[in-house]
Amino acid sequence: MPTGQGETTTPAGVTIVDHPLVEHKLTLLRSLATPTGDFRRLAREISLLMGYEVLRDLPLQPVDIQTPMEPMIARQVLGKKLCFISILRAGDGILGGMIDLVPSARIGHIGLYRDPVSHEPIEYYFKVPEDMAERLTIVVDPMLATGHSAAAAITRLKRAGAAAIKFVCLIAAPEGVAVLRTAHPDVPIFTAALDRELDEHAYIRPGLGDAGDRLFGTK
């Protein structure tokens, strides 16, 4: 449920990963007292834990193997091609945990910054694998605030051929969820928390502040 409100229904297409370890680490992440190094480590750890839920529907196939004791038929991931897309710069803060989980995945980056007046996203960088149509694409960004950057990034990825897309963040605002679900109703959202609201500066409340600045110690 949104933090600071009464109990509400989770919006359609949104999965809140509320494992106790995720909640515990997110509490530490939110705290103003958490220093940069710990913030960076916690963000990576949470993203790895969330990855288990995000990728739980990966298809499996049977394979013949030899254990130290005997032959058997076991199961392994079918070989679905994965691509993690980081929305710069803060997305890199939760990209690492995902890569730890699936080291063979391809990586892409989309550079967007938010206009300080209009809050609209402006693209300055785009580099992704060529065969996006063949890949399950996981887009990562710590905060889903207004939703405009996430929606713009996914629109750009679809133009590049991506069809199977999921979006992962640490904290989402109801306003951002509404924007992203309206723009891309086919893209499921995974988040560790759905917070109360945006303030007049488009920051999530109660949130955790500016994720990029806290990750990289730039403020």
Q: Which residues are annotated as a binding site for uracil?
A: 204, 209-211
* Cβ-contact 140, 87 below 8 angstroms: yes
Cis peptide preceding 135, ω within 30 of 0: no
User: 21 Cβ partners below 8 Å, 6+ apart?
Assistant: 49
Query: Binding site residues for 5-phospho-alpha-D-ribose 1-diphosphate, as ranges?
Result: 89, 114, 141-149, 210
* Residue 120 three-state SS: coil
Q: Whole-angstrom Cα distance, residue 10 to residue 165? A: 20
Strand-pairing partners, residue 66, are 71
Q: Whole-angstrom Cα distance, residue 173 to residue 178? A: 9
Instruction: Fill in the amino acid letter for 29.
Output: L
Query: Binding site residues, as ranges?
Result: 89, 114, 141-149, 204, 209-211
- Tokens coding 193: 């928390």
